[in-house]
Chain A
Amino acid sequence: MLRFLVRRLLGVAAILLVVSLITFYLFFAASGEDSVVRLSCGKNCTPEMRETVRHNLGLTKPLLEQYWIFISGIFAGRNIGEKTCNFPCLGYSFANNQNVSHTVADRFPTTVSLAIGAVVLFMTLGIGLGILAAMRRGKKTDKVATGFALLSGSAPIYVLGPLFIYLFVQQLGWMDRPQYHQFTDDPFQWASGLLLPWICLMTIHMAMYVRLTRSTMVDVLSEDYVRTLKAKGLSGRSVYIKHAFRGALSPIVTVLGVDIGVLMSGTIITESTFSLHGIGMLAVTSVTDSDLPMMMGVVVIAASFTMLANLVVDLLYAVIDPRVRLS
């Protein structure tokens, strides 16, 4: 178990190195350097000014050396100009000179809040409807639930979002325009401010869980051991929830791991639809600004969460299914 964990964490570190190196390289390959220098230098840029900018941004050194400075800086901290940047140092933004770590930390609660609420909603409703559909398979409930899932899953968020805002905010006036409030300030405001984006995310993600839960449960229900459970005289609830759903958990957790990774990396479209400033929006602006340190920061954070979510999923497999051995 411990060996498994250590090995997997080493793997995560290795993949992070590769991912960050590729991002770093792609920035230069896509001549992000030119555009960032042009942005900083302005219209009347002389070659001397240009060199000064490059020097100030630390772009004069060889690529690998720059990469090494970035990586070692994360752990050891580094000095950039007059500013000191402590662990975990991801550098300073090219665009606004902000400390990248601080900016990311600043934006992160929005993304986490979006993710948590959405996950809770789509898991509850998706799995609930899936179980219901499996229990009543072939009947009306099943058809309504799977049909609803199909419909909701095929609505893109950039259609759904504006539609919801138009309907619930502008026409019916049931809620305010989505806004992020700190949970610690006022949990109620936090929840009501994020309700619309949560519902949107739930609507598009839920479909997957309805269909996955339903189909895996139907598979499990045809297993021999389910017949044994019925022969033991167990009630329907016991057969479906305690046993059949337990058998369907592994695939659900697999998909959930991927989804959490995606949500933590920032839901770009959702955030921009509802003008929420999370990691997703940060990713977009850093790319349009050719803001290398910010880009690197976002990529490293997003990649870490994706991989951690998958590591947790692998650990959960062993908890869910006693036949699984971690090795």
Chain B
Amino acid sequence: MSQLQVTVQHHPAAGGGDRVTIQLAGSLDSTTVHLLESRLTPAVASRPVQVVFDLEGLNLVTSAGIRLFLLTSKQQKQQGGQVTFVHLQPQIREVFQIIGSVPGTKIFSNTAELDAYLIARQKAHGSGE
């Protein structure tokens, strides 16, 4: 069986609100995408300001998984949240490059890079207040 492990963690975001990190491991394909779908709905029910997909353990993503990423990005953007992706393996990075950049999403090599971006973004937003 192709398998997918989904781990959901909630943290307070730097500037208030909820930051949800969703760690994926295994294969995100037509067989396993429903598992992620069922875990995502409650995970984003709190209307998090940041949704982070950590793909370090993800070996395969097919168009079924990409569709769910696109849908999630779109929904989050409409709610004023932001979706980021970290730790993409080289081939998953290549798939993302073919799909093209998704408005409202960002890709980071590692968590430090992601944190630096989020802090900078927070400062930029905060400076106007």
The answer to whether A binds B is no
